[in-house]
Amino acid sequence: MFESLSSMASTMLCGFSSTPTTSPTLQDHCKKKLKMGSFDRTIFSGKKKRNHSIKTMSNQIHDRRGIPWLPLRFLIFNRRIFIYFLSCGRITLALAVNVSRFEGVTMAPPDPILGVSEAFKADTNEMKLNLGVGDYRTEELQPYVLNVVKKAENLILKRGENKEYLPIEGLAAFNNATAELLFGRDNPVIEQQRVATVQGLSGTGSLRLAAALIERYFPGAKVLISSPTWGNHKNIFNDARVPWSEYRYYDPKTIGLDFDGMISDIKAAPDGSFVLLHGCAHNPTGIDPTPEQWEKIADVIQEKKHLPFFDVAYQGFASGSLDADASSVRLFAARGMELLVAQSYSKNLGLYSERIGAINVLCSSADAAARVKSQLKRLARPMYSNPPIHGARIVANVVGNPELFNEWEEEMELMASRIKSVRQKLFDSLSAKDKSGKDWSFILKQIGMFSFTGLSKAQSDNMTNKWHVYMTKDGRISLAGLSSVKCEYLADAIVDSFHNVK
Ligand code: KET
């Protein structure tokens, strides 16, 4: 009997098809949703095994032989199915079955980074501080639109440019500008046309496109990811069905780079793996290899015939210099290595919501680059067709205009130095307040937007629950969301959480 009821529900939901339809999932859910009185439960359980099926979509159920199952009527009202059992013209029972085709969809957990902002918004405490997501804020903790962005937007507006579709690979002026910013204008790889550049939906979209390329053309190849890494990397490769494993990166004992561990894990991986590297300002640790260490990393990657895959989301934010922050990528390129680079303009141009970035694949020949580009386009077309234009125009105008470019570098320097100054102030406050003698100087050694505090999940929870300091549960705080006046308060919260919560 249950079977026929749920078949009925699923048939109705399948757009009133006249052929019998069964949906095991929906059946299961319908079964769960049935709320019955005890008397009727007995009736139902007794008839459970009778295999009725639906032949028509009248308001009656028929059994296999076409005989109507008279006592049962149903009607649909307000996305609910009401089922009536008639007994001698008298309604003895009505059941309401809540039906949704999405019953099998479970509730997803909040995102570990972007979910923090949602929780922050809901907090009414006036001391609250959002150090979760890596969004740059002014000293007044307000969002910041760069002056060069406003100037570029004015130029775009004055020109009255149209909103026609972009080609699949994006805006040509942007693609040229972004590759030049990354590799350096005079880098021979540009002139040799060995870089396949495709505009992407910021860093995330560009990583995702590259992951799709790996999945299609390097089936079974593994991506090696640093431990720890930006929270979304694993999701990206999981969703693209690209296998990944981790290499050691952070050593909690030294609060520094586990260089030996990193090298031996890269060596131990199957030849021809992809090695995901943070081009600069490693997220979340804020610890980058030294130039000598980068050389050694390049050695082992070459030796193992691995492919380096850089994620460059913070160019300019590590040192304040756009060129210096691209030096890791340029070092590998200068060795003649093939490599991939996902770029983002969310942070360095503050274009978070414009979703502007690129995937660059440096190949050993112009011919290979042309083929790779054609396949990236082929992958992009069914995913999102073609990218948005506004952010691309802004970047092209800023990077392609020497005056605006210089101004951008100055603004970048200002943003990076504001972060450096709160980093220093936080260290000073922690050192003054913490009487235990703990050495907090690791905070000064870290670079970029974040500080990896070493706080455990329980301690991070205390930061949020007791002190209203919102941060990711891996102990990362975004210094870009901190002002100098809040440093003392933050230091109090950290000292309390570190010493009083185990
Ligand atoms: N790579 C890294 C290393 C990274 O930290 C981010 C963003 C991205 C790529 C992608 O950014 P996009 O906006 O897609 O260009 N990180 C910050 C925001 C986020 O999680 O989405 C963050 O870690 O707070």
347 belongs to the catalytic site:
yes
Report CA dihedral (297, 303, 304, 310) to the nearest 10 degrees.
Answer: 40
pLDDT exceeds 50 at position 53: no
Dihedral sign, CA of 451, 454, 456, 459?
Answer: negative
What CATH homologous superfamily does 114-144+417-500 map to? Aspartate Aminotransferase, domain 1 (3.90.1150.10)
Catalytic-residue membership of 473: no
Residues 193-206 have pLDDT tens digits of 999 999 999 999 99
Compare 15 and 389 and report the one with higher pLDDT: 389
Q: Relative to the CA of 204, which ligand 1 atom is closest?
A: 14
Using only C-alpha atoms, the chain has a radius of gyration, in whole angstroms, of 29
Tens-digit pLDDT profile for residues 300-357: 999 999 999 999 999 998 988 999 999 999 999 999 999 999 999 999 999 999 999 9
Angle between helices 232-239 and 202-217 (to 10 degrees): 40
Task: Tell me how far apart the alpha carbons of residues 368 and 456 are, in angstroms, rounded to a whole number.
Answer: 46
Q: Exactly one of 151, 230, 265, 373 is catalytic; name it.
A: 230
Q: Which residues line the pocket of ligand 1, CB cutoff 6 A?
A: 113, 133-134, 202-204, 230, 232, 278, 283, 311, 313, 344, 346, 352, 357
**DSSP H helical ranges for 128-251:** 147-159, 172-183, 188-191, 202-217, 232-239
* Domain 165-400: assigned CATH number: 3.40.640.10
State how beta strands 68-69 and 61-62 pair.
Answer: antiparallel
- Name the catalytic one among 347, 373, 425, 473: 347
Q: How many CB atoms lie within 10 A of CB 440?
A: 22
Whole-angstrom distance, CA of residue 404 vs CA of residue 407 = 5
Ligand 1 probe mutation, 111, 283, 353, most atoms within 8 A of CB? 283
Q: What is the pLDDT of residues 75-97, one digit of tens each?
A: 666 666 666 555 545 555 566 67
| Residue whose pair of structure tokens reads 């859910």 in the numeric block | 29
Is the Cβ–Cβ distance between 195 and 255 less than 8 Å? Answer: no
Q: What is the distance of C-alpha 371 from the center of its chain?
A: 28
Residues carrying CATH 3.40.640.10, the chain:
165-400
Centre of ligand 1 to C-alpha 203, Å, is: 7
* Average pLDDT rounded to a whole number, residues 471-493: 96
Q: What is the pLDDT of residues 390-427, one digit of tens each?
A: 999 999 999 999 999 999 999 999 999 999 999 999 99
Choice among 258, 288, 311, 325 that is catalytic: 311
| Largest pairwise CA distance in the chain | 91
Note if the pTM is more than 0.75.
yes
Q: Residue 62 has which token pair?
A: 């028929």
The DSSP-derived string for 94-113 is EEEEE--TTTTPPPPPPPTT
Strands 90-98 and 250-251: unpaired
Do 380 and 163 contact (CB within 8 A), yes or no?
A: no
> What pLDDT shows up at residue 62?
52
Give me the pLDDT at residue 9, please: 38
Residue % of the chain over a pLDDT of 90: 78
Question: Which residues of the chain are in CATH 3.90.1150.10 domains?
Answer: 114-144+417-500
281: helix, strand or coil: coil
The whole-number pLDDT of residue 54 equals 39
Q: Ligand 1, atom 12: nearest CA belongs to which residue?
A: 203
pLDDT for the residue numbered 159: 94
Pocket test for ligand 1, best of 229, 230, 353 (most atoms within 8 A of CB): 230
CA–centroid distance, 204 to ligand 1, in Å, is 7
